[in-house]
Chains A and B, each alone.
Chain A
């Protein structure tokens, strides 16, 4: 049963525009993760290394803007969790719903609002924006989808929005 030109099942159409999986991080923002990212990329920006510069420009230490998604990524394992813990659950739901074992992210837009600071506790919700009809690329046959994630801090201030385009696919048989 389909209800739109992309040939989407009704249950998938019903999810478009809905806020799903609202979640609050299980850990507070830590400076050490910013330090790890700075080290991994050889980033010497004094805004993140020099507290005097941070005090002058941002009123104290902040997290690198591009670490936005990091604060909602689940631990690899934690007590009570079953199976592999994955971020961007809507993406994995779509892979399963359409029977597409592989996936890649093709496009990503990050919009940065209020700075994230050590000690903040971040929350987010995932919104499915669109799903394409069947497509074939050099990777295989599958579908593209767009998922937005809105991030807020403990004061409900918007700190960022992330929009992902994913391609779920099945590899072509040789």
Chain B
């Protein structure tokens, strides 16, 4: 099975961009798939009148799933997520064009020989796909990538799997 290997990961390089047109279905489908029943993710009146925002909006677990998809589209199936830290700075609403961009900030191997790519990912939203994009979410991610044809990060367990960013908990 082919796919990305650590030797093909270069610090400073960009990931391919992904743009998605967000609809009410995108928001509701994502909320229900993540078993998030809170009304601001399906009830327009609740979102506008109680939360004071312009529409229902993407929920946090679904945004995580979108970012996971963006990362593994790039790594292929051997890529294994270690850690993601993200900050929601603005909401993503139906009618927005949601764009994912990413940059490789570090390429490293840990003391077990596992190869890691650190990524900075930005999700922007443009209302109606026009105007100035606003930053909706930023994400720092750490994903394990095979170091060679025989390596499979998914086979790692226990002390051989160190998913946290060094220095974090």
Chain A residues near B (Cβ < 8 Å): 33, 36-37, 39-47, 53, 56-58, 64-67, 69-70, 73, 76, 85, 102, 104-115, 139, 161, 163, 171
A67–B66 touching, CB < 8 Å:
no
- Top 3 closest pairs, chain A to chain B, by CB: A36-B33, A47-B77, A43-B69
Closest residue to B86 on the A side, CB-wise?
Answer: A108
Bound Cα distance from A106 to B90, whole angstroms: 9
Q: Which of A102, A112, A171 has the most CB of B within 10 A?
A: A112
A-B contact pairs, 28 of them (CB 8 A): A37-B33, A39-B29, A40-B30, A43-B68, A44-B73, A45-B73, A46-B77, A47-B77, A53-B77, A56-B1, A64-B65, A65-B81, A66-B64, A67-B61, A69-B34, A69-B61, A73-B36, A76-B37, A104-B88, A105-B88, A108-B86, A109-B85, A110-B64, A110-B83, A111-B82, A112-B82, A115-B154, A171-B52
Bound Cα distance from A85 to B77, whole angstroms: 35
Chain B residue numbers with a CB within 8 Å of A40 are: 26, 29-30, 33, 62, 65
On whether A113 and B163 interact (CB within 8 A), knowing A43-B68, A67-B34, A104-B88, the answer reads: yes
Q: How many Å from the CB of B144 to the closest CB on chain A? A: 10
Chain A residue numbers with a CB within 8 Å of B152 are: 57
Chain B residues near A (Cβ < 8 Å): 1, 20, 26, 29-30, 32-37, 50-52, 60-62, 64-69, 72-73, 77-78, 80-88, 152, 154, 157, 161, 163-164, 168-169
Q: A53-B1, A57-B154 are in contact. List 7 more A-B contacts (CB 8 A).
A: A41-B68, A57-B77, A65-B68, A66-B65, A107-B88, A109-B85, A114-B161
B88–A33 touching, CB < 8 Å:
no
Q: How many Å from the CB of A18 to the closest CB on chain B? A: 17
A33–B33 touching, CB < 8 Å:
yes
Closest residue to B144 on the A side, CB-wise?
Answer: A112
Chain A residue numbers with a CB within 8 Å of B88 are: 104-108
B35–A73 touching, CB < 8 Å:
yes
Q: How many Å from the CB of A23 to the closest CB on chain B? A: 14
Chain B residue numbers with a CB within 8 Å of A53 are: 1, 77
Closest residue to A37 on the B side, CB-wise?
Answer: B33
A41–B163 touching, CB < 8 Å:
no
Bound Cα distance from A105 to B40, whole angstroms: 13
A112–B69 touching, CB < 8 Å:
no
Bound Cα distance from A139 to B37, whole angstroms: 22
Bound Cα distance from A105 to B66, whole angstroms: 17
Chain A residue numbers with a CB within 8 Å of B87 are: 106-108
Chain B residue numbers with a CB within 8 Å of A111 are: 82-83, 163-164
Closest residue to B91 on the A side, CB-wise?
Answer: A104
B85–A43 touching, CB < 8 Å:
no
A36–B32 touching, CB < 8 Å:
yes
Chain A residue numbers with a CB within 8 Å of B154 are: 57-58, 115
Closest residue to B36 on the A side, CB-wise?
Answer: A73
Chain A residue numbers with a CB within 8 Å of B35 are: 33, 70, 73
